[in-house]
Chains A and B, each alone.
Chain A
Amino acid sequence: MAYRDEKLDEEKVFKDPVHRYVHVRDRVIWDLIATPEFQRLRRIKQLGTSYMTFHGAEHSRFNHSLGVYEIVRRIVNNFENRKNWKKEQRLLLLCAALLHDLGHGPYSHSFEKVFGLDHEEFTRKIILGNTGVNHVLRKVSASFPKKVAEVINKTYGDKLIVSIISSQIDADRMDYLQRDAYFTGVSYGHFDMERILRVMRPREDQVVIKESGMHAVEDYIMSRYQMYWQVYFHPVTRSAEVILTKILHRAKALYKSDYTFKLRPQHFISLFDENVTLEDYIRLDENVTSFYFQAWLEEDDDILRDLCERFLNRRLFKYIEFNPLLHVKEMVELSRLFSEVGIDPEYYLIDDSSSDLPYDFYRPGEEEERLPIHLQLPNGKLKELSRQSDIVEAISGKKRTDHKLYFPQDILEALPDDSQQKQRIYEILFQ
C-alpha cells in the first residue's frame, strides 16, 4: 500500500477539551505529529502574554494545531460525495491544517517586530527544508511538501482547499476562538460549530454557507468581535507584550553596542545579527526565552535588568487612553520630560494602537479586497453575509479603534514630589 494511503491498525485519539477527541487514522498524520518540529509547538503558547491577564491561557500551538486538524477532518468527512469536492485533496488538506502554524516562534508577534522575522516564511522553510516534517511529507511524493506549503501560503491553485484553512470563516479561526475562550475562561467566543460545519458547502473556488445557517455564522462573527476586545486586545496583556518587546529591543541594542553579557546569549546571536538559520530558529522556544530573561536579571545594564524583572514578576506598565490627534504636542513634551528625569522614553513611554495586533475583524470584502463570507441562497446564488444580516452589517460598519500610552507608574511615583518635571508629567498623563 502506498504510504499516502496507509492507515494505523487502530485509530488513535487525543483527548481534547474543546472537540472532546481528536481522531487520527492516517499514518502520515501520526508520523507528522511525532516530528521534533511539531513537538516543538508544545513549548510555544498560543496566546503569548495573555496568561498574565487570564491565568488559564497557558495552552500551546500544539493544542491548537491538533484542533484545526480535527475540524478539517470533520469538514472533509461532511464533504464526501458532495459536488465540487475532490477526494484526492483530502490528505493534502489534513497535512496543511496540522502544519499551518509550524513556523511560529516564542511570542511571535514581538519577535517578528524586533528581529524582522516572518513566521509564514519559517513555516515554508520547515516544510521545504531538511527537517523531520519534510522527510515525512516527501515519503508521500517528491512534490507533496511544496503543495502543502502552497496551501498554507494561500498560493495553491485550488482556492476551495485554501479557503477551508484560511478565509474569514475557516478551521483556524473556529478552533482558536473556542480554544482561547475555554482556556481564558471568558464566556465569549462560543458559537455552534457543529451547525456551521453542517451548513458548509464546497463551491468551485470557496466554501460557502447555506442561507439557513446564517444565524450560527452571526454568532461566530460576534464571538470574533468580542474576543478581539475582551481577550486579544486586553490592555494588561498588551502591557506585558510592550515590556517583552522592549526587552528584546534592549538586548539587541546592547549587543550592537558591544556590551559584554555575563552569559553570552548564544541562542539570540543570529537574531541580533538578523541572519537566522532554520536550525537556529527551530531551537528557539519559550523555555529558551525564559532562561535568558532569568539570566538577564543578573546583568549590569539597569534597563535590561529592570524590564526582565517586570516581565518575570508581572510588574507591568500602567496605561492611559490617549487621542494622538489631541495629544501629539504633549507626547513630544512628555518624552522630553521623561529624559530630563532620567527615564529613557524609548523603553518606558510607549504608545500602542489596536492596529499593532494581528487579529482581524470581519470585513465584507469591498472591491474584492479580500474574500468575504458568502451565503448560498436556495436558488444557488451567492450573497455576501453583511448584505443579508443586519447584525453583521452593524458590526462590520463600526470600526472601533483604540490607542493607549504605557509607562512605569512606580518609577514616576518614586520621583521627588517637588520635582517640576514630575508635576508636569502627572498633569499631562492624568488630567
Chain B
Amino acid sequence: MLANHANLLQFFSSVEEVVGRKKLQKMIYILKKNGIPFGEKYEFHLFGPYSEELSLRVDELSNLGLIKETKEDKSSYFQYRYTITEEGQQFLSHYDNQFPDYQASIRLLKEKSSRFLELVSTMLYFEELPQEEVEDKVRTVKKKQNYTDEEMTQAWEFIKSLKQQQA
C-alpha cells in the first residue's frame, strides 16, 4: 500500500536534503536508469527527462507532512528544499527493509550540480544511441547550455562509475 510514496520517502531519508526541484527530478531519473525501482514515469521535456508523476507525488508527501518543502525567492525563479520530517520517518518505519540500499549512489549524485545532472540524465535518455550520436543529440537539444567537451567526458565517467557501483 502506497509503495511508491514510501519508496520516495526512503530516498528523502537517505539523501537528508535536496536543493532544487530540477536536481530532485534528475537524481530520481538517474537512479531509476541505474535499476532503482522508482515507479514514476518520465518523459522528455525541454530541460531533459521530467516526471509529472514525481512532481505530484512530492506535492502529496509535502501536503501530508511527510516531507518538508521550503521555498526561497531567487528573484527570477523560486528554489525549493526538501527534507524528510519526523512523521515521514515514522511512516517509513512501517515499510522496514523493503527497499534496496543505494546510499553510495546518492552520495555521488548529491555532490553534483543540477546542470551536471541535467547533462547526465539527458545522456542516459539517449543511451541506446552510439556515444557520438548521444553527444550530437545533447548539443542539439541542449544548445543553450553549451556543454563543453570536458563536461561530456566527465559525464561519461560519472555514468560509468554509477554503473560499476550498481554492479
Is B one of A's binding partners?
yes
Chain A positions within 8 Å of B, measured between CB atoms, are: 112, 118, 120, 153-155, 157, 159, 162-163, 166-167, 205, 323-325, 328-329, 331-332, 335, 351, 353-356, 358, 360, 363-371, 399, 401, 403
A155 touches B91 (CB 8 A): no
Known: A157-B140, A162-B46, A353-B60. 19 other contacts (CB 8 A): A112-B41, A167-B46, A325-B91, A328-B2, A328-B91, A331-B1, A332-B94, A335-B1, A354-B60, A355-B57, A356-B53, A366-B21, A367-B22, A367-B79, A369-B25, A369-B47, A401-B59, A401-B60, A401-B63
B64 touches A366 (CB 8 A): no
A157 touches B141 (CB 8 A): yes
Complex Cα–Cα for A166 and B62 (A): 28
Q: B50 contacts the other chain (Cβ, under 8 Å)? A: yes
Instruction: Mark out the residues of chain B between 29 and 71 whose CB falls within 8 Å of any chain A CB in the assembled complex.
Output: 41, 43-47, 50, 52-53, 55-57, 59-60, 62-66
**Can you pick out 7 interface pairs between chain A and chain B where the beta carbons lie within 8 Å of each other?**
A155-B126, A155-B140, A331-B1, A354-B56, A360-B56, A371-B47, A399-B62
Complex Cα–Cα for A325 and B64 (A): 7
Complex Cα–Cα for A205 and B87 (A): 44
Complex Cα–Cα for A328 and B95 (A): 10
User: What is the minimal beta-carbon distance from B119 to any residue of chain A, in angstroms?
Assistant: 14
Taking CB atoms, residues of chain A closer than 8 Å to B45 are 154, 166, 370-371
Taking CB atoms, residues of chain B closer than 8 Å to A363 are 55
User: What is the minimal beta-carbon distance from A398 to any residue of chain B, in angstroms?
Assistant: 10
A355 touches B60 (CB 8 A): yes
Name the contact of A366 in the complex, choosing from B41, B60, B78, B94 (C-beta under 8 A).
B78
Instruction: Mark out the residues of chain B between 62 and 116 whose CB falls within 8 Å of any chain A CB in the assembled complex.
Output: 62-66, 77-80, 87, 91, 94, 114
A328 touches B94 (CB 8 A): yes
User: What is the minimal beta-carbon distance from A328 to any residue of chain B, in angstroms?
Assistant: 5
A324 touches B46 (CB 8 A): no
A399 touches B25 (CB 8 A): no
- Consensus secondary structure, chain B interface: helix
Which 7 pairs show the lowest CB-CB distances between chains A and B? A355-B56, A399-B59, A355-B57, A157-B140, A401-B60, A366-B78, A360-B52
Complex Cα–Cα for A162 and B140 (A): 13
User: What is the minimal beta-carbon distance from B60 to any residue of chain A, in angstroms?
Assistant: 4
Taking CB atoms, residues of chain B closer than 8 Å to A360 are 52, 55-56
Complex Cα–Cα for A370 and B65 (A): 25
User: What is the minimal beta-carbon distance from A53 to any residue of chain B, in angstroms?
Assistant: 21
Name the contact of B52 in the complex, choosing from A118, A358, A364, A401 (C-beta under 8 A).
A358
Considering the complex, give the chain B residue whose CB is closest to the CB of A400: B63
Name the contact of A159 in the complex, choosing from B43, B46, B53 (C-beta under 8 A).
B46
Taking CB atoms, residues of chain A closer than 8 Å to B59 are 355, 399, 401
Complex Cα–Cα for A201 and B96 (A): 53
A358 touches B22 (CB 8 A): no
Taking CB atoms, residues of chain A closer than 8 Å to B1 are 331-332, 335, 351
Given the known inter-chain contacts A157-B143, A331-B1, A368-B22, please indicate yes or no for A358 contacting B47, CB distance below 8 A.
no
Complex Cα–Cα for A159 and B140 (A): 10
A353 touches B2 (CB 8 A): yes
Instruction: Mark out the residues of chain B between 112 and 134 whose CB falls within 8 Å of any chain A CB in the assembled complex.
Output: 114, 126
Considering the complex, give the chain A residue whose CB is closest to the CB of B95: A328
Taking CB atoms, residues of chain B closer than 8 Å to A323 are 64
Name the contact of B137 in the complex, choosing from A118, A155, A162, A365 (C-beta under 8 A).
A155
User: What is the minimal beta-carbon distance from B65 to any residue of chain A, in angstroms?
Assistant: 6
User: What is the minimal beta-carbon distance from A101 to any residue of chain B, in angstroms?
Assistant: 13
Complex Cα–Cα for A52 and B81 (A): 41
B41 touches A155 (CB 8 A): no
Instruction: Mark out the residues of chain B between 5 and 21 whose CB falls within 8 Å of any chain A CB in the assembled complex.
Output: 5, 20-21
B65 touches A325 (CB 8 A): yes
Considering the complex, give the chain A residue whose CB is closest to the CB of B115: A368
Name the contact of B77 in the complex, choosing from A118, A355, A358, A367 (C-beta under 8 A).
A367
Taking CB atoms, residues of chain B closer than 8 Å to A399 are 59, 62-63
B43 touches A120 (CB 8 A): yes
Considering the complex, give the chain A residue whose CB is closest to the CB of B21: A369
User: What is the minimal beta-carbon distance from B129 to any residue of chain A, in angstroms?
Assistant: 11
B77 touches A366 (CB 8 A): yes
